[in-house]
Amino acid sequence: MNTSASNDDASRADRTEHLFGKSESPVPEPAPEPVSATPASDATGHAPDRAGPAGNQHGPGGHQDDDGPLTQLHPNYKLMLRVKAAIFGVILIIAALVAESALTAEFGLPFGALSGPVALFALFLIIRLPVARYNARGYQMGEDRLRVVRGVLFHSDTVVPFGRVQHIDVDQGPVERALDIATMTLHTAGSHNASVSLPGLGRELANDMRETIRAHIRRESV
C-alpha cells in the first residue's frame, strides 16, 4: 500500500513538474526578422538608390526613340545637291558678268570686280554647302513614328506619329530619277506641319518605308 502511495505521489510529482515545467520554461527568442530588400540608410540618413539601370524608367532611355542615332540619307543625295547648286551658281555668275559689263561701260568698273566675288561665292555654294546640308539631314524610323531632322542655320527636328498620317507620296524629279533616289512626303492631319518631306532616300527604300507605314496604319485601324 505504501508502494502504491509512493507511485501515486511520484506520478503526481511528474505531472506537476511537467505542468510547471511548461509554464515556467523560458520564452523562446523570436526568430530573426528577414533582412529587408531595402538597403540600410547611409550616413546622411537617406537610403541609397537601389533601382539601378533597370529601375530607372524615366531616365535617358525613356526617350530613346527620339534621341537615338540618325540614319544618313543616300549618298547620291549629296550629288543632287551639288548639281542644283551648280545650276544656281552658273546662273549667278552669268548675271554677275552681265551686270559687270554694264557697270564697266557706264562707270569704267574693272573686270572681275563684281564677277570675282560672285564666282567665289558660287564655288562655296557648290563645294561646301551641299556637304553641310547633307550632314545636317537624317531620319529615324521607329515602330510607330518617323523622326526627320534637317537644317543648317535653322535646325528642325520633327516627329510624325504614324497614327496621324493620312496618305504618303513618293516622288522623283528628273535628277532624282537619274540618281535612283526619291522623296517621301507624309501628309498628316492638322494644320501644323501638315506635310513632312524626307528627300534623299533610295527609291526602293522609300517604297518599302511607305508600305511599312501603311501596314502599321492598317493594323491600328482594325
Provide long-range contacts, Cβ within 8 A and 24+ apart, for 7-16.
none
pLDDT at residue 36 is higher than 90: no
Q: Over range 90-113, report the average pLDDT.
A: 91
Q: What is the mean pLDDT of the chain?
A: 78
pLDDT in tens, 125-153: 999 999 999 999 999 999 999 999 999 99
In the beta sheet, which residues pair with residue 187?
167, 195
Beta partners for residue 195, in sequence order:
187
* pLDDT of residue 94 exceeding 80: yes
Give the CATH fold of the 139-221 domain.
PH-domain like (2.30.29)
Q: How sure is the predictor about 181, in pLDDT bands with cuts at 50, 70 and 90? A: very high
Enumerate the domain spans of the chain: 75-133, 139-221
What is the rounded distance in angstroms from the CA atom of residue 32 to the CA atom of residue 100? 98
| pLDDT exceeds cutoff 60 at 56 | no
Query: In the chain, pLDDT over 90 holds for what percent of residues?
Result: 58
Spatial separation of the C-alpha atoms in residues 181 and 203, rounded to whole Å: 5
Closest CA to 199 of 153, 155, 133, 145: 133
What pLDDT score does 158 carry? 93
pTM reported for the whole predicted model: 0.66
CB 168 within 8 A of CB 187: yes
pLDDT on residue 108: 84
**Least trusted range by pLDDT, from 6-15, 30-39, 45-54:** 45-54
Is pLDDT of 92 > 60?
Answer: yes
Contact 134, 78 (CB under 8 A): yes
Structure confidence at residue 220 (pLDDT): 86
